[in-house]
Amino acid sequence: MRLSKDGVVQFFYVDTGEIIQTDKLLENLDVNTNSWTHVDYEKNIIGLGLDTGQVLIFRHEYKLKYGDDYRTVIPSITYPYGEQPINLQIGKQSIES
């Protein structure tokens, strides 16, 4: 998984670098990301610090699909606390690392 500064998540094959799936976390929001951190390594939960003083929390998950002689990894993004950013600060101060 690759996370860009503009909130785009790309899942790719490690051996070839070919992109499997792209998700735009901030697509319908008028915000920018300033930082990110792992909230919970074991559960693959990440928090994005936004320039509005909010945080968007998401989880990257993987399912396996088996065929005759192959295995396919199917990535997905879920939002354990909802798809809207959570207010952490009063006002519109930026969240930075």
CA distance 84 to 79: 9
CA atoms within 13 A on the CB side of 8: 7
- Let me know if residue 93 belongs to a domain: no
- Let me know if residue 94 belongs to a domain: no
pLDDT in tens, 38-60: 999 999 999 999 988 899 999 99
Both tokens assigned to 93: 């101060």
pLDDT of residue 93: 61
- Let me know if residue 54 belongs to a domain: yes
The total number of structural domains in the chain stands at 1
What is the span of the domain harbouring residue 74?
Answer: 2-87
- Let me know if residue 58 belongs to a domain: yes
CA atoms within 13 A on the CB side of 56: 25
- Let me know if residue 53 belongs to a domain: yes
pLDDT of residue 23: 95
CA-closest candidate to residue 79, choices 28, 30, 12, 18: 28
- Let me know if residue 95 belongs to a domain: no
pLDDT of residue 95: 61
Which residue ranges of the chain lie beneath pLDDT 70? Answer: 89-97
